[in-house]
Structure formats: C-alpha cells, structure tokens
Structure 1
C-alpha cells in the first residue's frame, strides 16, 4: 500500500508544471514566479531564485499578470472566475470567461486561488515521513502521511491519509490508519454543500475499520486570504467492523463540525478541526474526533510538520477503549 501511495504522489507531482506570474515594479524591477496570496494590500510571491517569499506592497506595482485563471472571493461573499491583471489606475481587472471585464480595488479581494485550464494541473499535494527508533525495548515507529487537493470554479476536493506502525518488545504491535476524502460544492454567500467519506482503523480501540459517509451543508463564517473558519452540520451513516466480528454494527448519526485554518503566517500553516457525532440510533452515544496540524515551510517546497489527533467514544464496543490519541512529527515535500 505504501509503495503505491508514494508512486501516485510522484506521478502526479511530475505532471504539475511550474507557473510564471509576472510583477513589474515602479522601479522597473521584474519578478517572475508564483503569486501565493495577498493581504491588506501586500502581495506574496514565491520564486525559484529566492529562499524566502517576496512581500510587495501593491502601491509599488506598475503592472501585474497572473497566468492561470483565478477563483476570486470578494467582500460580501461575491465570487468571480477569470484571468487577472492590473490597469493603469492600479485596479485589479478580472476578465471573465465571456470576455467581460470587471475592476476592483485590492482591498475588495478576500481569497485568490489559481486554477489551471488543464485538469491534472489543478491538483496540489504533499507527502511526509516520520521515523523514531530507540534502543530501549527495541522501540520503532514509522509514520507516512500525505494529502492531495483539487480546485476548480465550483468544486473543492481534499483527500488525506496517515498510516502509523509501532513496535516494542513485550507489547502488541500498534497500527493506525486515518483517511478522508471531502467534496465541497461552493454556493453563493460563502455557503457550501459537503460530501465526506472517512476511514479509521485503530488497534487501540479494536477497530478493524470504521467507514463514515456523510452529507451536509456549511458556511464559511470567516474567509480571508489568511484565515478560514467554517461550520457545517449534516447526517452520517456509521459502519463499524471490529477485530471481534461479533461486535460489528451500523448506526445513524448527526454531525457538527467546526474547522479553523490559518496559513502563510511567516511560513507557518495551522489547521484544526473538531467533529461531534451525536448518535440518532443509539441512545446517549456521542463520538468526538479532534485534529490539529502545524506546518513550517522550508526552502525548496520542503516542510516540517507536527500533528495531534484525539478520538473519543463514550460507548465503546470494548470497555476501556473509549479514548485514543496520537502525536506525530515528520518531514515532507509539497508539490503543485
């Protein structure tokens, strides 16, 4: 499984081409690279010839051209999709697919995501590895993680997987696999429809596999090019298979999810999510999942990552296995 996952990431990374957005400053300096984001009138550009990103005040710009089409989120929940440049007055010009041109001030832009015309180039992702070794009790731990993301005008798709294997003398082997695939259909006024399928296999809770398909609706309560805060709710069907097959069962649940993302703060990204699952078919049962991931960007698209996950079930199939947590660290590579 691991070798196929590695191969998939490498193949996808090989077809993702670099981009060359162009900025010309008032002093005639020309910069080529990738415009990552902007905030409060400051553009952030990544180039291949600098270890650190350039931070450029938009009032120092003479012209700007972004090669790819962009999904643009404006204030008051407005959305536009098209090519972006600037005019002689320093306004952002968005050329829509029908050729219509609209002009906005930089302060009106909330989020900007580049979208490539070619399907495969709309994917971004990362892969990270972690390994621990201790002579005491012959302890070893191996962690493999990764994510793959897709964006177009109306859809966002996010997938991630994390695999942990741990061995130690006189202790049963610990195995844990987390995987999730999410689909977002963007709606006006920062609303979205949500489809989700998650998987958890966990020896600590005697879970052979828990598969959870979910559907729901949500809203971005805060949406800027630095912060996202979203809230969603919906319905979940819980399919649980245990090591002891006599405990296998299915159930219906509601879910309430809150997610917070903070990104591009001095090369630090943070995302955290908490899920509450009150059961609709098992009286009094409540499950809770919490995830926290912190990433620090390094040169050459490398990064260091820390992760923390908690799973809680107040009515576990096996007594004493109501609670599990995991802390991970790793080193990874990001591609687009």
Structure 2
C-alpha cells in the first residue's frame, strides 16, 4: 500500500512542476553605494536575496543594502504582515521601497525591509533550485566514538507549490565494515491556498535508527498548516494531519500500516548582519492511533555560521524518543553533527 502512496506523491510533484513557465528575463538591483547588479532574481527569504548576475554568477545580497529593485518577470511576494502579492517589482516612491504592480494593475508600495519571501514565477526550473551539501564529524549515543556524516538538501519554490528534498546519513567504520547507524530522508511538498498563511502539504519520510531498533520506517504525511508568525528575520510554521507508517525492526519484524496524529513545528531564523548566522529547527510530536499509549518525538536543530562566501560551519544536535520502540531496551537517542557545508 505504501508504494502506491509513494507513486501518488511523485506524480503530484511532477504535475505541479509542469504548471511552471520558463521565460528568461533580466532584473536590476541598485544599491545605496551606487553598485548595480543585472541578472535573474532567483529568490528572497528573511532579509537575503539571491540573484544570478550576468557576469558574476550566483550572488546573495542583504536586502537592507538595496536602494531599488526593477524586475522584468513576475514574482510571488509575501510581506511580514502576511500579505501576498503576484506581479512585478518597480522602483518605489522613495529609496528602500518598491512598487508592486499586480496582475490586476493595482500598485502597492512596500518597504524592501518588509519583504519576507520573494519567489520567481517565470524563471524556469533550475534557477529556482537552492540547497546545500555537507560533510563532517558526528557523535551519537549509540557509539561513543566519532562517526562520519553526510547530508544533502535542495528546495524548489513555485507560484503555489514548494518542494524540499533532504537526505542525511551517519555511519561508522569498524574493522573495515561500514555500519549505517542512522539515516533520514524526506520529500515534502506544500501548496499555498488563496489565503496568505494557510497551506496544504504532503510528504514521504524514511528513517533508520539502530539505537531505537528501527531498520527502516517509511512514513507518509497528509495534512496542512499555517504560518503562525512571520517577522523580519524569523518565521514559525505549524503543521498537522495524518501520518501512515510502515516499520521494520532490526530483527526483521515488520508491521502493518500504523496511523498517527502529528504536530510539527518549523522555525527559521536568519541574521545577515555580522556575524551571518542561521537557525533552523523542526520539532515533531506523534500520537499513535494504532498502538495504545505510544508517543514519539523527533527533534532536529541546525545552527549555521558563514565562514566565507557559500561555505558554512554547521552544528546539528538532534534527538529521538519512542516510548514503545519495536524491540530492545533503548527508547531515546541523541547526537550532534559538526559539518562544513556548501550552499548553492
């Protein structure tokens, strides 16, 4: 059954991607110091804007330095007061402001510092991709020795659809044998409703955790959420719905579909003034509908500090709790990963 859900999710994402257009147009940024950048604005989020400059390539700039913006293509623009606009950006009534010319010809003047999220609608597929690749050293409860970890994350933002793919693994090498101690993978899709804060979501997760006797867990998520708080440099989202799990223990025992009620908090904080730091966390609570009294909790926090352009030092503590693991005595796992990551 879960394979059918996986196929439905992949088909859902493929259909959503075909709804996006592929026009290529140029945008212009004018800064307070007189510098001008010309290219394709890829995205903007919590105080930082990414542009593919015609000569310099991909550049990330801080919005508080921008004097005016002139865009040729259409954008989806969300402000800190949770308003959503669709249209082009033009120089505003004063420095540090933009006029948003909507599709219905209405014009709204907005401070650039009040722009929370900017999504290019007419820039094609690859210009909208954003992600990072990381590798480093980790410590886990199950292994007092150090371990190696690798992770990959990529995001795609469309007019109403958003997709995120995340992969992470922690393993240890002992006597020339590699042990896959912990693995996480997720494919998440959201769809913004006509309101400015509500969205629908669907996701597929994979977990492996030898400390909790989980050889594999496949999880399908169906639900929605709300952007509870949107501020200049941080954002808080809440999601809930229904999850369906299929588990296999380290002894080979498999379960039928297990149903859970989830409550998921996603928090993002960005500070682009010196020092350049970012904090992202996902806190997930699960209450079982199939197994009486079973509750689970997954905690993941990621701290990033920019060392040089595009390279970050990341500190990633995590923990997992399950009061009824498939087998074994351990119901709690924790660890920390320290990585050097490259963002593209």
TM-score, reference length from structure 1: 0.79
Partners of 1:323 and 1:87 in 2: CA distance = 54
- From the superposition, tell whether residues 77 and 308 of structure 1 become closer, same or farther in structure 2 (CA, over 3 Å): same
Counterpart in 1 of 2:159?
153
Count of residue correspondences: 305
Counterpart in 2 of 1:309?
318
The superposition leaves residues 269-319 of structure 1 with CA deviations (integer Å, 9 ceiling, x where unpaired) of 101111111011111110111110111123231111111111111011113
Alignment of structure 1 residues 40-189 onto 2, 5 Å: 56=64, 61=67, 63-66=68-71, 69-74=74-79, 76-87=81-92, 89-90=94-95, 91-97=97-103, 100-106=105-111, 109-115=114-120, 117-131=123-137, 141-168=147-174, 173=179, 175-187=181-193, 188-189=195-196
- From the superposition, tell whether residues 315 and 185 of structure 1 become closer, same or farther in structure 2 (CA, over 3 Å): same
- From the superposition, tell whether residues 299 and 172 of structure 1 become closer, same or farther in structure 2 (CA, over 3 Å): closer
Correspondence for 1:218 among 225, 233, 247: 225
Q: How far does residue 104 in structure 1 lie from its aligned partner after superposition?
A: 1.6
- From the superposition, tell whether residues 22 and 228 of structure 1 become closer, same or farther in structure 2 (CA, over 3 Å): same
Partners of 2:108 and 2:292 in 1: CA distance = 56
Counterpart in 2 of 1:322?
331
- Tell which has more relative contact order, 1 or 2 (C-alpha 8 A, sep 6+): 2
Higher mean C-alpha deviation, range 121-130 or range 240-249: 240-249
- From the superposition, tell whether residues 65 and 117 of structure 1 become closer, same or farther in structure 2 (CA, over 3 Å): same
Aligned-partner SS, 1:189? coil
Counterpart in 2 of 1:261?
268
Unaligned runs of 5+ in 2: 1-23
Higher mean C-alpha deviation, range 100-109 or range 201-210: 100-109
Correspondence for 1:273 among 259, 262, 282: 282
- From the superposition, tell whether residues 37 and 240 of structure 1 become closer, same or farther in structure 2 (CA, over 3 Å): closer
- From the superposition, tell whether residues 210 and 191 of structure 1 become closer, same or farther in structure 2 (CA, over 3 Å): same
Partners of 1:142 and 1:251 in 2: CA distance = 32
Q: How far does residue 209 in structure 1 lie from its aligned partner after superposition?
A: 0.6
- From the superposition, tell whether residues 257 and 282 of structure 1 become closer, same or farther in structure 2 (CA, over 3 Å): same
Q: How far does residue 217 in structure 1 lie from its aligned partner after superposition?
A: 1.6
Counterpart in 1 of 2:35?
30
Partners of 1:106 and 1:249 in 2: CA distance = 53
Unaligned runs of 5+ in 1: 1-16
Partners of 1:117 and 1:52 in 2: CA distance = 17
Partners of 1:130 and 1:262 in 2: CA distance = 23
Q: How far does residue 95 in structure 1 lie from its aligned partner after superposition?
A: 3.1
- From the superposition, tell whether residues 273 and 23 of structure 1 become closer, same or farther in structure 2 (CA, over 3 Å): same
What's the C-alpha RMSD, in Å, of the aligned pairs?
3.3
Aligned-partner SS, 1:77? coil
Question: Is the contact made by 1:22 and 1:31 (CA closer than 8 Å) also made in structure 2?
Answer: yes
- From the superposition, tell whether residues 57 and 130 of structure 1 become closer, same or farther in structure 2 (CA, over 3 Å): closer
- From the superposition, tell whether residues 52 and 44 of structure 1 become closer, same or farther in structure 2 (CA, over 3 Å): closer
Alignment of structure 1 residues 224-239 onto 2, 5 Å: 224-239=231-246
Counterpart in 1 of 2:257?
250
Aligned-partner SS, 1:204? helix
Partners of 1:138 and 1:308 in 2: CA distance = 15
